[in-house]
Amino acid sequence: MAGPSLLTRIQHAADPHSTERHTYRDHDLESAILTHLGHMLNTRQGSSLTCPDYGLMEVSEVLHEFPEAIGLVQRSLKNCIQAYEPRLKNVQVRHVRSDSVLQSMILEFEITAQIQFPDGRRQALRLGAAVDQSGNVRMT
């Protein structure tokens, strides 16, 4: 899947006010990827009966293993993105050290990757992800 998702294309094509019913801009694909990552990373593994490894690990179950939990969450983020967001290539996830880890138990990560466009072009992408102690992920 290199372009926008099927549901995004259907929604876009069904909009009677859309002047770009059959064309997509680079920003549309970035937006679709960001939306998908937000949904996917806020889904817990085991929530989908047909795909039990879809989503992020249960963060609240590993926080007692701090600081080793940082590496576990980091690997879970990377593995999930690599497995279920095929429009991103060369995915890297890096923990960003901050004071909020000790104060509010929020783990911050930087996600870098390349967007693979349908025409073969690639574009660098850099995102932030903040994971709280409940496992909620806020994309920035």
pLDDT tens, residue by residue, 67-108: 888 999 999 999 999 999 999 999 999 999 876 555 677 889
Nearest to 24 by CA among 91, 119, 132, 130: 119
Q: Which domain holds residue 112?
A: 24-139
Within a domain: 100: yes
Number of domains in the chain: 1
In a domain, 10, yes or no: no
CATH number for position 105: 3.10.450.40
Cα–Cα distance for residue pair 21/108, rounded to 1 Å: 37
Which has more pLDDT, 60 or 1? 60
HSE on the CB side for 66, CA within 13 Å? 10
Q: Is residue 11 part of a domain?
A: no
Which helix (H) or strand (E) element contains residue 9? helix 6-14
- Evaluate whether residue 83 is within a structural domain: yes
Q: Which of 116, 120, 108 is nearest to 82 (CA)?
A: 116
According to the model, what pLDDT value does residue 37 have?
96
Query: Is residue 2 a part of any domain in this protein?
Result: no
**Is 16 a member of any domain?**
no
pLDDT one-digit tens code per residue, 18-68: 655 445 577 788 888 999 999 999 999 999 999 999 999 998 888 777 788
Say whether pLDDT at 126 is over 50: yes
